[in-house]
Structure 1
């Protein structure tokens, strides 16, 4: 999978709003500056990451000379009537940057790519009509600029080709879901496809370029909910001289659009990265509805109680055991009278600990889209006991162990697997999901999804993950007792004392 550097260029895509100058701002530089100024006001009002996008066409080459003066060919009259010079475009780029916004341009020919470079354009945008124009794409990819590619009218197979094209060239790029109809009817928008793109191209920022009714901001809000990180709309400024088309926004409409997108982002955002935030208010609200554990009859200190000795009812008092915490076989620490609330420390068994980590591991597999069959063996490798498993250990799924061996290893967030080596087995890891740091003969190495690392016989190695990892291990036959740990406490344990083997999970 393509590596995306966490650098300044990549961050340009973060929660980006793109204001596209409609109809090439009528070929009027001063009118274009007025539009830029209005968008600058909106950007400052909401303190957003905003860009204004221009369109570059070197008309001397873009239109065949025999068609320059034709009025019966679509778009040619409009392109010719709104023509701007290189110097005039430079004025507009300067105006965008003076307003504190990002300058983007869509070049439609190779000469226009040169203009982008010479004028210091921050991001190059590839229009939907040009997204399979391979000579133009080669030129844009060679610039080293961050790229945004619109995918209007492109099939999934087309987008796969684009992904591979730009990934192989190590470009920093984003995709925009787009329906290239102007205006685009609501029943053609297919916002569910944003979900598909986010899952299929996990390392690429996905956005949405809209051409729907400028007053319908629910579409942009839904696009955010679907995971769009970049939002683009055409903007224009109606005057006595210039009218506005059916898919472009006035400054007032653009203001409301930005406000709606920010609201959607607030509604959709999680407080903790990659996790669900649970507030204390939410906990208190639910706790007030929980059932507590109460005794059906008198019991004495030291008695062991089960489900037939208790009943569940609300309210559940502070520190009282609730119905979800109760399990058979609790030994009470004091005398209780009938109907009295049970206040005992919850005992978490090794079985419950094992079940909880298995649930987490299966959830990671679900999220990664990795399906394991039923004919597998699951090993919980707990080097310092099950109670410390979330800190030290790994879940090892044995898929096959013949002359060759395949395993899937699952490392929970923050979990470490201690330093060890094998004398008989040679193994190769390939990271399938998440992040993994491996220490090999004292040298630390960060693996990203798709990376491969071979561990030779006798090489000491350990690994850990910040956010969780799933990786495949291919090796020679696995031999029991072929793991030699640096920590003597682990080495002294019988292998079965530091492993729990499951046949089904």
Structure 2
């Protein structure tokens, strides 16, 4: 089934508080109040119902009793299939997604019959395997609350729905009503995002409805879905302590939108730096000035200069100064230094090493202390970011293990090995491997074996780290298609670093 994966993105879920008092008319009023908020802020929003076939959900001996928690409330707010159908129709007419939490198998059937867009699994049902099996069989998008569930429980849910081929999301949830601030544990959103990187993670809140710091923090922690109980107070209806009225719900939505704006990066893969920020910092930087007169062609040493504000346009700043730079003209004492930054192979090596280490940090890959780093620069260090690779040798015995770091946009040229057979496993990023002219696009976890004598190359759009496991690595066992690379001595196209 082809499911729209954007369905979960920035989704706000308005859950009907207390089953909208068991009134279709009151439920419609709540739906329309929430749809006005959704239209005002142009948000991706759903209204969520709760389905139970109370004729079978409650044991016959317990019907009508008021001494068992929840049963009196369930019975007093009971709606039938046709009434729920009417509510679903209004939700769709208002341009919202229809969502429901089925607490039994009949409720799942109702979801399918009524065209519910998303099925929700309540925290209390998250280990109800007969119910989960039926929900998974629908192949509907699923959102699972994890209140009261251990990490081991959540792992079981992840594996169950992954094996069933479902599109699903998790909500961090504290199943206390209301939930005290000291129990919220929003750091767990971070952990879920790291543990399940392909799954959308959200937050279902039950805290004080006037507290909009919590949803902002949840967004900052990486929550992409937010859920709250909502209702509509009247002269005869009072909301409980964890449900929002329309005014509170609108403030909640606005706070979340503000948090997203505050947190989001302007560029997908890199930090955005505005010209205003650059100008502001440049106004505080120190420029390079000459302590004494210097003749054209003379090397400029550290003792020949001083650093001071301001740093004017086209003037070298203190951070760009390199000792030994040659003067391109005669300079007078106290004159601004106007030279271009000297770019050296050592500087290039240092820059790419820093980038590679940053990628390893972000990927959470620890190298230990016993490894060797090779910069493979087939066309010189000046072209390394376009053509090359960073090869980290970990073990080389009868078996060999390496890590390869490919910088964003970097390519490794076509080559083959006569002695070595190797297998790649992508650990981080994206990797496109060309094998004898056939493109293989790898995602994290994918494995690709390269047999002896097979020509291959690889590249990455956003950067990649992959593990290479092979037979023993033999020097001079890389045979390149390009005669220019073939003619180079390995020393000319490799820089070896023992420590970085």
TM above 0.5, yes or no, is yes
Structure 2 match to 1:365:
360
Structure 1 match to 2:22:
27
Distance, in Å, in 2 between the alignment partners of 1:63 and 1:414 is: 61
**Aligned partners of 2:3 and 2:141 also within 8 Å:** no
Q: Of residues 312, 330, 335 in structure 1, which corresponds to 2:330?
A: 335
- What whole-Å deviation, never above 9, does each CA across 1:200-244 have from its counterpart, x for those lacking one? 111111111001111111111111111111010000011123221
Distance, in Å, in 2 between the alignment partners of 1:319 and 1:448 is: 44
Give 1:151 shift: 0.7
Residue 99 of structure 2 corresponds to residue 104 of structure 1: yes
Structure 2 match to 1:475:
470
Distance, in Å, in 1 between the alignment partners of 2:464 and 2:17 is: 46
Distance, in Å, in 2 between the alignment partners of 1:244 and 1:213 is: 12
Structure 1 match to 2:453:
458
Distance, in Å, in 2 between the alignment partners of 1:170 and 1:356 is: 43
Q: Of residues 108, 116, 120 in structure 1, which corresponds to 2:115?
A: 120
Distance, in Å, in 2 between the alignment partners of 1:8 and 1:138 is: 19
Structure 2 match to 1:67:
62
Structure 2 match to 1:285:
280
Structure 1 match to 2:488:
493
Structure 1 match to 2:187:
192
Structure 2 match to 1:77:
72
**Aligned partners of 2:3 and 2:167 also within 8 Å:** no
Moved runs in structure 1, 4+ residues, more than 3 A?
none
Distance, in Å, in 2 between the alignment partners of 1:294 and 1:316 is: 9
Structure 2 match to 1:274:
269
Q: Of residues 273, 294, 297 in structure 1, which corresponds to 2:289?
A: 294
- What whole-Å deviation, never above 9, does each CA across 1:330-349 have from its counterpart, x for those lacking one? 11111111111111111111
Residue 25 of structure 2 corresponds to residue 52 of structure 1: no
Residue 321 of structure 2 corresponds to residue 326 of structure 1: yes
Structure 1 match to 2:130:
135
Give 1:8 shift: 5.1
- What whole-Å deviation, never above 9, does each CA across 1:452-486 have from its counterpart, x for those lacking one? 11011111111111111111000001111111112
Give the 3-state SS of the residue equivalent to 2:218 in structure 1: helix
List runs of 5+ in structure 2 lacking aligned partners. none
- What whole-Å deviation, never above 9, does each CA across 1:74-127 have from its counterpart, x for those lacking one? 111111111111111111111111110111111111221111111111111110
Q: What pairs with 1:194-209 in structure 2 (closer than 5 Å)?
A: 194-209=189-204
Structure 2 match to 1:233:
228
- What whole-Å deviation, never above 9, does each CA across 1:416-462 have from its counterpart, x for those lacking one? 11111111110000011111111111111111111111011111111
Give the 3-state SS of the residue equivalent to 2:289 in structure 1: strand
Q: What pairs with 1:9-28 in structure 2 (closer than 5 Å)?
A: 9-28=4-23
The TM-score with structure 1 as length reference comes to 0.97
Give the 3-state SS of the residue equivalent to 1:55 in structure 2: strand
Give the 3-state SS of the residue equivalent to 1:373 in structure 2: coil
The TM-score with structure 2 as length reference comes to 0.98
Q: Of residues 369, 384, 388 in structure 1, which corresponds to 2:379?
A: 384
Distance, in Å, in 2 between the alignment partners of 1:434 and 1:86 is: 48
Give the 3-state SS of the residue equivalent to 1:142 in structure 2: helix
Q: What pairs with 1:160-171 in structure 2 (closer than 5 Å)?
A: 160-171=155-166
**Aligned partners of 2:141 and 2:167 also within 8 Å:** yes
What is the root-mean-square deviation of aligned Cα atoms in Å? 1.1
**Aligned partners of 2:299 and 2:325 also within 8 Å:** yes
Structure 2 match to 1:449:
444
Q: Which moved further from structure 2: 482-491 or 178-187? A: 482-491
- What whole-Å deviation, never above 9, does each CA across 1:160-197 have from its counterpart, x for those lacking one? 22112222222211111111111111111111111111
Structure 2 match to 1:88:
83
Give 1:61 shift: 2.1
Give 1:491 shift: 1.3
Give the 3-state SS of the residue equivalent to 2:4 in structure 1: helix
- What whole-Å deviation, never above 9, does each CA across 1:358-406 have from its counterpart, x for those lacking one? 1111111111110001110001111111111111111110001111000
Distance, in Å, in 2 between the alignment partners of 1:414 and 1:219 is: 39
Distance, in Å, in 2 between the alignment partners of 1:445 and 1:57 is: 48
Distance, in Å, in 1 between the alignment partners of 2:401 and 2:113 is: 53
Q: Of residues 243, 249, 252 in structure 2, which corresponds to 1:254?
A: 249
Would you say how many aligned residue pairs link Structure 1 and Structure 2? Answer: 500
